[in-house]
Structure 1
Amino acid sequence: MTEVDASRADRLRVALLQVSYGDDETLDERVERVSRWIRGLGPTDLVMLPELWAHGGFASTTWESTAEAINGPTVARMASVARDTGAWLHAGSIIERAEEDSDRGVEGRGLWNTSVLLSPQGTVHKTYRKIHRFGFGDGEPRLLEAGTDLAVTSLVRDAGVCQIGLATCYDLRFPELFRGLGALGAEVVLLPAAWPMPRVEHWRLLGRARALENQAWVLQCNTAGTHSGVEMGGHSQIVAPTGDVVAELGSGEDALIADIDLDLVATVRVDFPVLADRRIRIFSRHIGRQ
């Protein structure tokens, strides 16, 4: 377990759990194991899990059978953990099933890759349906609906309020999404992922780029292990608004615990006010023609 202490007044203690799993562990077994892990962490403000850690990031052949509504069993069990620990819990993402046939999405599939942020009281505080589906026509694009809305929300704690933006895995390759989160006030972006080992250097580099260009914290929580024949990349990392990697894990299962300095966002934006020089309207005209 890696710990970093920023020793500043306005800090957010975060724990990124780099869950490792294979094909021999059932969904229920994994949820129970991870629940015990979170309960044993000690005091934290925010705990974060990876993308599809319960349903399997590349287990697309089982998504239809294991999908569940937001109020289904996996989120309910994670909500219990949030209440017991008193922490904000980003429960990674699940394969969400539409509760009603009338809400099956524009493509009629009724399944999404949906991130869930739970409050310390165990309520669903914010959800985000992944906008950019990975697979180049297969996997996510073939089976899942695409999300249509950006997600930014307030995270309230004793020391104050910070603005949290939500993104997922493949979204990392699309800088305009992060610009949008910044425009909505995001100071910290939470990015769960199931990013494979062959492209792990892209994961590390793009995380630094998104943090640096938007002058925001980027918290990247990846999976480890091998499942569905795919070796996962690990290397979860916390990137400061300066683009510097504050802490990073290796390739195996581990926890990354750090105190991040929320004041640093305002400091960096004042000291180097690059965001004020954006010419968004010019580029928006050209993007709109596509």
Structure 2
Amino acid sequence: MKVACVQLDIAFGKPKENFHNVEEKVRQAASLGAKIVVLPEMWNTGYDLTRLDEIADVEGQDTKKLFTELSKELSIYIIGGSVSTKKGNKFYNTMYVTNDYGDIIAEYNKAHLFKLMDEHLYLEEGNEKNLFTVDGTEMSGIICYDLRFPEWTRVHALNGAKVMFIPAQWPDKRIDHWKILLQARAIENQIFIVAVNRVGSDPNNFFNGNSMVIAPWGEILWTGGNEEAVQIVNINLTEVEEVRDRIPVFLDRREVLYN
């Protein structure tokens, strides 16, 4: 399965500019043969949180329109990273997923809000898992800071996920944590990890990409640089069962000890 990782330099607080860039990059990914296109976190506005009332996507309408039209036209799945959304009088960090017929098949609000970037002051927490099917294979998605909670990744793996997508805005000063945690989550859950980080900067942080695709045995299939990029990576889904047969971690769990 061909997966396209799209590293973006996000224009701070400029949705129109970002929507144009995303459409261009998604079309590029499709032209390269991608079946799944994966975007970074909060790509529509960046972390311009104080202006969300002006710039957040109301009910996700603009994002859903773009994704459904592109997915249908190009016959691709879009793992939409995440966007800032306004629902009623509340704001969320939301991931939308579309299938190759242009249907919305998943919607997820980030469960763990990152206080160091003031998310908790402006955004609401999500309370639902994020599981969906791509061509008959169970997959899942979480967002950035969610990565630091191994129990959240494990919940999705226990529910059948063989691939986990992780969009992020992970600053360069903690990029070593990003790399180690991603590899650990792949190994401990015996799943593919497809993690897409942004590049560029905002008023408070510098982001140096280092998006990664990691196989269930922990092998790093690709690491991105620090500039915008559209990278196709082939993943072989049969590897998940092969690794789980070699070391049957899930069969050897002792749940009685974990509460």
TM-score (norm 1): 0.85
**2:48 maps to which residue?**
59
Q: What residue number does 1:194 align with?
A: 169
- Normalised by the length of structure 2, the TM-score is 0.94
In the alignment, which residue of structure 1 is the partner of 2:40?
Answer: 50
1:222-278 CA distance string (max 9 Å, x none) = 100011231013000001101111111111111221110000000000011122222
Q: Which digits, 9 at most, give the CA deviation of each residue in 1:173-200, with x for residues without a partner? A: 0000011001110000011101111001
Letter in 2 for 1:120: D
Count of matched residue positions in the alignment of Structure 1 and Structure 2: 257
| Matched ranges for 1:31-42 at <5 A | 31-41=19-29, 42=31
What is residue 223 of structure 1 aligned with on the other side? 198
Contact 1:129 / 1:146 at 8 angstroms: preserved in 2? yes
Alignment of 1:98-247 (within 5 A): 98-99=87-88, 110-136=90-116, 139-156=118-135, 161-247=136-222
What letter corresponds to residue 123 of structure 2 in structure 1? L
The AA in structure 2 aligned to 1:110 is K
CA contact (8 A) 2:60 2:85 kept: no
The RMSD of aligned alpha carbons is: 1.5
Deviation track 1:13-50 (CA, whole Å, cap 9, x = no partner) reads: 10010001344x82112211220222123221100000
- Aligned to 1:89, the other structure's residue is in SS state strand
- Counterpart code for 1:50: P
Out of 56, 76, 79, the residue aligned to residue 68 of structure 2 is 79
How big is the shift at 1:69? Answer: 3.4
The 2-side partners of 1:258 and 1:70 are apart by: 32
* Contact 1:198–1:233 (CA under 8 A) maintained in structure 2: no
Mapped to 2, the partners of 1:195 and 1:55 lie a distance apart of: 15
**Does structure 1 retain, via aligned residues, the 8 Å contact 2:110–2:143?**
yes
What does residue 82 of structure 2 align with?
Answer: 93
CA distance in 1, matches of 2:94, 2:10: 20
Give the SS at the match of 2:24: helix
Q: 1:6: which partner in 2? A: none
Structure 2 gap segments, 5+ residues each: none
Higher relative contact order (CA 8 A, sep 6+): 1
In 2, Cα distance between equivalents of 1:135 and 1:74: 26
Which of 8, 19, 35 aligns to 2:8? It is 19
Alignment-mate amino acid for residue 190 of structure 1: F
